[in-house]
Structure 1
Amino acid sequence: MPTSSASTTDSAKSASGGVQSLERAFDLLERMADAGGEVGLSELSVSSGLPLPTIHRLMRTLVACGYVRQQANRRYALGPRLIRLGESASRLLGTWARPYLARLVDETGETANMALLDGDEIVYVAQVPSRHSMRMFTEVGRRVLPHSTGVGKALLADFPDHEVRALLGRTGMPAATEKTIVTPEGFLAALEDVRQSGYAVDDNEQEIGVRCLAVCVPDSPTAAAISISGPAGRVTEAATERIVPVLQQVARELSEALAGSGIANA
């Protein structure tokens, strides 16, 4: 009996039930992002385990669609069409998060935010403001450097030290206030504190008079963190003990909601 060739082509279904060529293409895009956005075919072959002809065929398709572009040096870089997809996905993630941020405001009384790690920067994608007349406000879409923010610390805490040092080398560590951490060693020590305690603190480091508490959203489809921020006189050490368990619980529930929606597994 002749054997169908469909099972041996890139369009064959994978063991997970998906289309293998799609899975491979998205895996290559993820590997390019992890490598800083630009790679050579041989690097992709080594990291993915795929043969060069397969990678070359997939990259040709991604280039034709605008999701990858070939540089003058023949290396491949992430393409501009991904920007629109990323912006739409960020807005959707922010929309999903808003009810959970509203709960944080109800239970803590302080402004709640959601932020993502986008390249080397933090971008805020959702906010629900406090009802207090004195409250913190961060524009959705605002970009900041990670080293002076609670969400930045929360998001980078699981990164290897050498990757953190490389990021800080690219961004620099400008002081937003006199309390900002401005050395790699100091920032790495702060990340170790995050790992030990399970939450991150911005103590007057982005803005004098403001304290922020942040935690990661576990298993988020992209690196994400939620936080509350308020006047240092309200977000005290005593308040921290009450607020952090609420932050952690809401982060877990948001993670479960994203998984249930199919976003986290998309």
Structure 2
Amino acid sequence: MRLLETVAAHEYGAPAKQLARETGLALPTAYHLLRTLVHEGYLRRDKGRFFLGDAADRLSSSGAQQKRRSTVADALAHWRDRIGAPVYYAMYRDGEIEVMCVADSRETPAVAEWADFRETGHAHAVGKCLLSQLDEDTRREHLARYPVRSLTPYTVRDNDALLRRLARTRRMEPVVERQEYALGAVCAAVPITVGTTAATMAISLPAHQADQLPSMTRRLQAEMGRHMGALALSISI
């Protein structure tokens, strides 16, 4: 790792002797490790100088991605504690609804995924919020793969009814559902658009606390407004 860090500090590469000196390694040890790192693709050698290889670039990219995800997870945990409700982050990617991160606790448990969230976007606020950000053709294509089906007595009844409801949703307006996905739970989702990515932050509450959902949703929007600039890069994972 010290060798990798030292090579990364030299934009134009460095020879083995210099790397051994800067890392404090014996020259034979440095040569052995450098050969191994080149063989594994973490370094490449060109005209006697060593540079980072493709494997190191992939490692760096994965680390940066993990850091961005950690930033989102930390923000969700902060909002969970501030608002007093579980917070969800989801996005529409490659034609699928993906819940990327959930921050809940023993006191504020998340809604159990008893039916696949990807297949039931018509029933929960997260899915409907994401679908509301898509154009109508993309919505219809999604519903052709995952048609509306009743999960509770409150679930929207068919594809056309859902499409009409989505068409009435104003741009960037929160989406609310009450016991459509799971009896005993209500949910609100706030849309996020970063470039062409459709994403959302959402909260859920037990149905007996439904009267608190509007005020908690406004608090989520306010929190997002204060921190969204810093999170804009992080959520485009």
TM bucket (normalised to shorter chain) is 0.5 to 0.7
CA distance in 1, matches of 2:64, 2:98: 13
Is the contact made by 2:72 and 2:235 (CA closer than 8 Å) also made in structure 1? no
Match of 1:6 in 2: none
Is the contact made by 1:218 and 1:251 (CA closer than 8 Å) also made in structure 2? no
The Cα shift of 1:182 comes to: 3.3
Match of 2:152 in 1: 177
Is the contact made by 2:133 and 2:198 (CA closer than 8 Å) also made in structure 1? no
Match of 1:13 in 2: none
Misfit runs of 4+, over 6 Å: 87-90
Q: Aligned in 2, Cα 1:223/1:253: closer, same or farther, shift over 3 Å? A: farther
Superposition pairs for residues 174-213 of structure 1, below 5 Å? 174-195=149-170, 198-213=173-188
The Cα shift of 1:228 comes to: 0.6
Q: Does 1:147 align with 2:122?
A: yes
CA distance in 2, matches of 1:129, 1:190: 29
Q: Aligned in 2, Cα 1:254/1:156: closer, same or farther, shift over 3 Å? A: farther
Match of 1:22 in 2: none
Q: Deviations over 1:76-100 (max 9, x none)?
A: xxxxxxxxxxx99986654221222
Match of 2:231 in 1: 258
Give the TM-score normalised by the residue count of structure 1. 0.55
Higher-RCO chain (CA-CA 8 Å, sequence separation at least 6): 2
CA distance in 2, matches of 1:248, 1:240: 12
CA distance in 2, matches of 1:250, 1:209: 26
CA distance in 2, matches of 1:131, 1:225: 23
State the one-letter code of the partner of 2:103.
V
The Cα shift of 1:199 comes to: 0.3
Matched residue SS, 2:170: helix
Q: Deviations over 1:83-130 (max 9, x none)?
A: xxxx99986654221222123212321111111213333221111114
CA distance in 2, matches of 1:98, 1:188: 32
Higher Cα radius of gyration:
2
Match of 1:110 in 2: 85
Unaligned runs of 5+ in 2: 1-61
Match of 2:219 in 1: 246
Is the contact made by 2:177 and 2:188 (CA closer than 8 Å) also made in structure 1? yes
Matched pairs, number: 174
Matched residue SS, 1:181: coil
Q: Aligned in 2, Cα 1:262/1:187: closer, same or farther, shift over 3 Å? A: closer
State the one-letter code of the partner of 2:110.
M
Match of 1:218 in 2: 193
Q: Does 1:136 align with 2:136?
A: no
CA distance in 1, matches of 2:151, 2:167: 22
Please give the root-mean-square deviation of Cα atoms over the aligned residues, in Å.
3.2
Matched residue SS, 2:193: coil
State the one-letter code of the partner of 1:225.
T
Unaligned runs of 5+ in 1: 1-86
CA distance in 2, matches of 1:130, 1:147: 26
Match of 1:165 in 2: 140
State the one-letter code of the partner of 1:136.
A
Superposition pairs for residues 41-52 of structure 1, below 5 Å? none
Q: Deviations over 1:37-65 (max 9, x none)?
A: xxxxxxxxxxxxxxxxxxxxxxxxxxxxx
Superposition pairs for residues 6-17 of structure 1, below 5 Å? none
